[in-house]
Amino acid sequence: MTLTLATTTPGEPEIFASIQGEGPSMGKPCAFVRLSRCNLACVWCDTAYTWRFTGDNRPHRDGIAYDRAENQLTLPEEEVVARIAALGMKRLVITGGEPLLQAPALARMLEHLPGMIVEIETNGTMKPAEALDPFVAQYNVSPKLSHSGNPAELALIPERLEGWVAQPKATFKFVVATMEDVAEVLALAEAHAIPRERIMVMGEGTDQQTLERREAWLADVCIREQLTLSKRLHIQLFGDSRGT
């Protein structure tokens, strides 16, 4: 079996060691694998090179159409395992794109990485596969709000949200840019009984100035609403670049 990955440069898979920049494991050293393909299309997506290939007209604010051959690579699971193991990390973050689109191959891959603490970053529109779940320590679930540009019937599926609430390994991380986005988060929390202690909010942005401006008012929101603030530490440390 094979996995379909994003690339850092043409022909080089995006498998790397870095610091987890966001979510509940922020600051921890990790191996990262970035997979290609996504079932959603966020207008502000900072990894559009994983899905917006030439011929894909789904809207994005940058309007860039990426060449598939340069930005997508297929590798045997065994080679992905070897590259991850060579990094020497104890924690593995599988991100995308939408990783759960490749759940069967991921489950087979993780069988060969015993002892790894595995995080999966997902948009929350898919169920975790039964074969995959035993290998996963943490799901970082990031449902996409209306400002993402995705229709709610695709991005905010009630039974999926409620399924993730019932999954004890799941933490919810919402990307927000305005107070209207925060109001949407609170409404979703109320409608689907998402405990506030499991909700993180994170400013949308790919430059430090924008993030700091949004984090300043988000801090007050988190205090008032008893939510958790997530930074984007990798942007602060490395900028908006691949393989970081």
Query: What are the tens digits of pLDDT across the range 220-238?
Result: 999 999 999 999 999 999 9
Q: Given this model, what pLDDT does residue 67 score?
A: 98
Q: Given this model, what pLDDT does residue 73 score?
A: 97
Query: What are the tens digits of pLDDT across the range 19-53?
Result: 999 999 999 999 999 999 999 999 999 999 999 99
Q: What's the rounded mean pLDDT across residues 133-147? A: 98
Q: Please, what is the average pLDDT of the chain? A: 97
Cβ partners under 8 Å of residue 12, min gap 6: 73
Looking at 3.40.309.10, 3.40.190.10, 3.10.180.10, 3.20.20.70, the CATH number of the domain 2-173 comes to 3.20.20.70
| Cβ neighbourhood burial of 32 (10 Å; 0-12, 13-18, 19+) | buried
Q: Which two tokens stand for residue 144?
A: 């996409």
Q: What's the rounded mean pLDDT across residues 2-15? A: 98
Q: Given this model, what pLDDT does residue 129 score?
A: 86
Q: Cα separation of 24 and 197, whole Å?
A: 11
Q: Given this model, what pLDDT does residue 122 score?
A: 98
Share of the chain above pLDDT 70, in %: 100
Query: What are the tens digits of pLDDT across the range 57-113?
Result: 999 999 999 999 999 999 999 999 999 999 999 999 999 999 999 999 999 999 999
**Strand partners for 66:** 53
Q: Show the CA angle centred on residue 236, arms to residues 234 and 240, nearest 5°.
A: 65
Alpha helices in the chain (DSSP H): 68-71, 77-87, 103-110, 152-155, 158-165, 179-192, 208-225, 233-238
Q: Given this model, what pLDDT does residue 87 score?
A: 98
Domain ranges of the chain: 2-173
Q: Given this model, what pLDDT does residue 54 score?
A: 97
CA-nearest of 168, 173, 96, 92 to 140 is 173
Query: What are the tens digits of pLDDT across the range 158-182?
Result: 999 999 999 999 999 999 999 999 9
**Would you say residue 144 has pLDDT above 90?**
yes
Q: What's the rounded mean pLDDT across residues 191-207? A: 98
| Cβ neighbourhood burial of 61 (10 Å; 0-12, 13-18, 19+) | exposed
